[in-house]
Amino acid sequence: MKAVHTLVIALFLIGPLLLCAWLRVRRTLLALRTALAHAHEAVRSTRQLILRPLSRDLAGTHVCTRYHCAGSESGIGGDLYDAAVTPFGLRIVVGDVRGHGLEAVRPATAAIAAFRELAYTAPDLPTLVGHVDKRLAPELGAEDFVTAVFAEFAPGEVRLVNCGHPPPLRAGQRVELLEPGTPATPLGLHPDPRQYRFRLQPGDRLLLYTDGLTDARSADGTPFPLLAEATQALREPLPDDALDSLYDRVVAHAGARRADDLALVLCQPAEVPARIMTQDVRPA
């Protein structure tokens, strides 16, 4: 009986202290949850500022984007894209910084900033690529580089400069990769850019992407069958649905093994004339 009485007294004395401690812990946890929610919102806002999500018509071309970060705490990795409606037409860049995670964020952000500043004044894509390369050089280490493809849309055609990047995919009567005749080296490695022109028939779509698509592997190491899967996915009538279908197919193929970021940009010009010539252009 005496032991029970002692226990009651002890609980009476210690109980308020335990309650206060529990309340402090609870308030701390709530504060941490609030701070984490604010941090996630800040990351989301920053990501949308740097990698602006698009699903709209720009200068007669519907542009739809998707970005999937494989694991960076910032929600932003080394993949990049942007679009600009310039006096020379709609221009788009899709790129991939060497490296992953937070170390790739700064050069990716610098590449986007350079494109946004220079896309409106460079008279052609080769000149634009040269200017972006020079602007980006101070931001890159000795072994850093950025693969990129630049696109410029005009009636009935798309003009491309490819700096060591996976080739865009054109989907129309057939699905095919638009390989450059002579690939240029990536940004940061002093590329000698050449511009190539490709026809765009009415209803054609152009898919630009990063190597998170082509490097995806299944459990047994089988590469993602890009042409076959893109053929199926790009049959979706709406561009947003087409990109969602393509991403679902990548996830189904690679599952949890997808370790690389992925940027997708799907462009569908309005009705365009079919006649166009193809030629090679170098910067002046």
**For residues 3 and 61, what is the distance between their CA atoms, to the nearest angstrom?**
83
Tell me the β-bridge partners of 157: 154, 199
**For residues 195 and 129, what is the distance between their CA atoms, to the nearest angstrom?**
10
pLDDT of residue 104: 74
pLDDT of residue 179: 95
CB 175 within 8 A of CB 231: yes
The CA angle 263-265-269, to the nearest 5 degrees, is 175
DSSP state at residue 126:
H
- Domain boundaries, given as residue ranges, for the chain: 1-50, 51-281
pLDDT of residue 24: 73
Tell me the per-residue pLDDT of 54-111, one tens digit each, with 9 for 90 and over: 999 999 999 999 998 876 554 567 899 999 999 999 999 999 998 665 677 888 999 9
Q: Which segments of the chain have a pLDDT < 70?
A: 1-23, 25, 27-50, 71-76, 99-102, 256-259, 271-284
pLDDT of residue 64: 97
pLDDT of residue 142: 82
**What are phi and psi for residue 184, nearest 5 degrees?**
-95, 160
Compute how many other C-beta atoms are within 10 angstroms of the C-beta atom of residue 101.
16
Amino acid identity at 283 = P
pLDDT of residue 58: 96
DSSP state at residue 24:
H
What is the chain's length? 284
First-to-last alpha carbon distance for the chain, in angstroms, is 100
pLDDT of residue 5: 63
CA-to-CA dists, residue 49 to 44, 45, 263, angstroms: 9, 6, 15
SS3 215: coil
Distance from the Cα of residue 112 to its chain's centroid:
11
Question: What does pTM read for this prediction?
Answer: 0.78
Tell me the per-residue pLDDT of 255-273, one tens digit each, with 9 for 90 and over: 765 667 899 999 999 864 4
CATH architecture of 51-281: 4-Layer Sandwich (3.60)
